[in-house]
Chain A
Amino acid sequence: MERPLIISAPPHIHTQRTVRSCMWHVVAALMPALLCALFYFGIGAAVVIVTSIIGCVITEYLITRFMSGHPTTIANGSAVLTGLLLAFNLPSNLPVWIILIGSVVAIGIGKMAFGGLGCNIFNPALVGRVFLLLSFPAQMTTWPLPSVNRWMYPDAATGATPLGLLKQGIMTFDDINLTDCLLGAIGGSLGEVSAIALLLGGIYLLATRIISWHIPVSILATVALLSVCIGVNPWVELLSGGMLLGAIFMATDYVTSPMCHRGMIVYGIMIGVITIIIRQWGAYPEGMSFAILLMNGCTPLINRYIKPRKFGERRAKR
């Protein structure tokens, strides 16, 4: 007697890509930037990254284990990714307890409070970062100088970021060394400094088709165009601050970005516009995080009104 055959509805084959593989691809794409962070900020970067990841993973585990009752989702790597991205958005001399607060807020409030992976409205890592920025403004805006104090963690020599100096009027656009911005020898959050490393990661994500070009390109193009319009150096705007980290890794977060390509372009343009407005006229030197969070909030709206073009449907003629 042969075994009964399995009956199921088509399709009978399935892509090899999984949620898990998507997450680990992004982690892999962050590796060049991670190496740069370790190179420029040394031990401090290592402590912040490790603390942040452990904080996020443990928070997620505890919440799934004791509060939500859902099966644990650590294995899909999304908590690790959130931890890594949160760390990338922090200065490398941040005290461990502040980082832990950031991780708990990122995972607990940013993600699990909404129902876990796929249900959150805002990018969890950015929720954590912005929470810390508003709660600990002093610690969050003292930036260790690159290269000089690799073996110092809590009391490294600090300085300002190029964008901060611009805001205060200490520097002008001409004083900023673009090569340093490209390589990462500038002050700033530990993962955002090296443009080349971030671009490498972006190319990897595009090549593996984890992300599409729509969001990063529309953000960067908008920023470049607007900076030319308002008469500031577009290269500085593109290469400094959280621009590339945000455009390539944070704004492209699957959960919090629009579903269709046309929506993605609108979303990207709006992020670019808001960032430039904040950088130019706002109180903060950097606006990428706020811009992304604001547009995360608009994503459901974009999804509702900007739909893919349906096959064979014409616009109603009236």
Chain B
Amino acid sequence: MNKPRTFSTGGIHLDENKLSGLQLVTFVDLPREVTMLMNQHAGNPARPVVEKGDHVKRGDVIANADGLVSAYIHSPISGEVTSVGMVKDAYGKPCEGITIKSDPIDYNIDIEEVHEREAVRTNDDIASLTPDEIVSIVKEAGIVGLGGATFPTHVKLSPPPGFKPEILIINGAECEPYLTNDHALMLAHPDEIIEGTRLLRRATHVPRAVIAIESNKPDAIRLLWGKTAGLDDITVMPLKTKYPQGCEKQLIEAVTGRQVPSGSLPVATGAIVQNVATAYAVHRAVRYDEPLMKRIITVTGDSVRFPGNYHCSIGRSLRSIIEQAGGLPDDTAKVILGGPMMGRTVENLDAPSTKGVSCILILDDKQARRREAEPCIRCGACVNACPMGLEPFLISTLARKGRMEDAAHEKIMNCIECGSCNYACPAARPLLDYIRLGKIGIKAVSKDKKKKLIKWKGH
């Protein structure tokens, strides 16, 4: 076996804190009520196609994709649409949502039974699917990137003309601390992931797929290794454990040794990256004609009673998911959707979960507060940590001082906001906060310029 690979620039080693690592996936009963948000994927929000009072069945389309970069949304339960309108999402922002109340027959159904339904397509059916058919099944199933970016999968499967993908990378790195949902999925459904991987591989016309897993998950590596032993199109590649390996650009470099050129699409390297959970969802969609309406969510935190991986319906309220893990601890100070490095903090626990929620992380008061910032001692820790080879201390200061052009010259827009610099800084400086502000400022300026240009051309 070769030495595990990794990306070349920067990166940090984090305490893993995989509290729920040994937990298998727990199925959660169907919820009595769900709210499906229209903007739960990257791109245009979906357009509702149901009205208040409509009856929907589990798996029915309730909102259509709006334009190319958008995704269908399906109802995860059978019941009555009780409202279509503005609701507050987890971050407190208003957005359009469809609320469905379950009917009594639906929530008495055994969830395991729902999961172990009969296959719609046989092996022969699947083997005879054309790539375009697979892409259209994926599109109709409303599948989006489940690693957190929620970019519609069918768009990624159809790269723009001129790009020729050569390799499919299935992302099982799961480099964020605390998260175990992908790990649990790989242990629970290896065959299904391999089938999903093959479907994705066929859909993108690439000869080879690699399932990349960080070496802190030796059981998953061993299991998938065994399962892919005889296959010549799918291999398992162990990677050295290093954050942020799960970020698309770093993962592509770790696997292929190629760096995504600054300003181009990742597919320019010939690689297409999909998450393991996405591969699993593709398998469910093709084999069972099941749209994306549930996923595995890790509920974790030092004071959570039963940290674990919960397979539950999308659209369930965050609070009800936390209740599965023993309820909200008394000392809760911060709730994060996603991992501790890149996850966003929740304001509204009654908001529904979405396709992109991989983890609900609960921190107590001590963990939730930042240390006070001290002056920069120019130690270079941020420079060494930056996986993009930037100088965080510099671009952060330039952004803070409003020198946007200089910041842009120092490639502030290359920042992937992985948080490594912020983590590594011994002076606890809020480097990434200012970098983000700088990026927002630069984006605003370039939009403004475009507007002016359009105006000018119009005259």
Contact = CB atoms under 8 A, between A and B. Distances in A.
B378 A308 contact: no
Interface string B176-189: 01000000000000
B162 interface: no
Interface string A1-29: 01101111111111101110110000000
Interface string B335-355: 110101111111101000000
Given A18-B428, A260-B380, A12 B334 contact: yes
A117 interface: yes
A9 B436 contact: yes
Interface string B413-425: 0100101001111
Interface in A80-138: 116-119
Nearest to A23: B377
A11 B423 contact: yes
A260 B389 CA distance: 10
B432 interface: yes
A307 B409 CA distance: 13
Interface string B304-334: 0000000000000000000000001000111
B320 to A, nearest CB: 15
B376 interface: yes
B383 A260 contact: yes
A312 interface: yes
A259 B384 CA distance: 9
A112 to B, nearest CB: 12
A254 B334 contact: no
Nearest to B419: A11
Nearest to A11: B419
A311 interface: yes
Interface stretch (B33-41, B49-57, B255-263, B285-293): B255-263
A254 B389 contact: no
B347 A5 contact: yes
A12 B432 CA distance: 12
A285 B31 CA distance: 82
Interface residues of B, number: 67
A314 B347 contact: no
A18 B426 contact: yes
A174 interface: no
A11 B340 contact: yes
A19 B426 contact: yes
Given A6-B369, A255-B377, A312 B259 contact: yes
A184 B427 CA distance: 36
Interface in A220-279: 254-261
B387 interface: yes
A175 interface: no
Of the candidates A119, A212, A308, the one having the most CB atoms from chain B within 10 angstroms of its own CB is A308
Contact of A118 (B378, B381, B387, B424): B378
A118 B376 contact: yes
B261 A312 contact: yes
A126 to B, nearest CB: 16
Given A311-B249, A312-B260, A10 B391 contact: no
Contacts of A118: 375-378, 427
Given A6-B345, A254-B380, A308 B386 contact: yes
Contacts of B361: 12
**Majority SS of interface residues in chain B?**
loop
A317 interface: no
Interface in B355-394: 361, 363, 367-371, 374-381, 383-384, 386-391, 393
B347 A7 contact: yes
A258 to B, nearest CB: 8
B262 A12 contact: no
Contacts of A6: 333-334, 345, 368-369
Of the candidates B328, B386, B422, the one having the most CB atoms from chain A within 10 angstroms of its own CB is B422
Nearest to B420: A11
B411 interface: yes
A34 B346 CA distance: 52
B411 A313 contact: yes
Contact of A13 (B177, B333, B425): B177
B433 interface: yes
B283 to A, nearest CB: 31
B24 interface: no
B423 A13 contact: yes
Contacts of B422: 11, 14
A116 to B, nearest CB: 7
B28 interface: no
Contacts of B414: 310-313
A110 to B, nearest CB: 15
Given A5-B347, A311-B262, A311-B414, A13 B14 contact: yes
A73 B386 CA distance: 28
Interface in B22-70: none
B426 A21 contact: yes
Contacts of B177: 13
Nearest to A18: B426
A309 interface: yes
A64 interface: no
Contact of A309 (B9, B253, B370, B378): B9
A210 to B, nearest CB: 9
A261 B384 contact: yes
B261 A5 contact: no
Contacts of A15: 423-426
Of the candidates A261, A307, A314, the one having the most CB atoms from chain B within 10 angstroms of its own CB is A307
Nearest to A12: B340
Contacts of A141: none
Contact of A254 (B260, B328, B338, B377): B377
Contacts of B377: 19, 22, 117-118, 254-255
Nearest to A76: B374
Interface in A39-92: 76
A76 B377 CA distance: 11
A256 B379 CA distance: 9
Nearest to A115: B375
Contacts of A18: 371, 374, 426-428
Nearest to B262: A312
Given A7-B345, A259-B383, A311 B328 contact: no
Contact of A259 (B370, B374, B391, B436): B391
Nearest to B369: A6
Interface of B: 9, 14-15, 177, 249, 253, 259-264, 328, 332-336, 338, 340-347, 349, 361, 363, 367-371, 374-381, 383-384, 386-391, 393, 411, 414, 417, 419, 422-428, 430, 432-433, 436
Given A15-B423, A308-B386, 12 more contacts: A2-B328, A8-B368, A10-B345, A11-B341, A13-B423, A22-B377, A118-B427, A259-B378, A310-B262, A311-B262, A312-B388, A314-B261
5 contacts: A3-B333, A6-B333, A9-B430, A14-B371, A22-B379
- Top 6 closest A-B pairs, CB basis? A11-B419, A254-B379, A310-B389, A118-B375, A312-B262, A259-B380
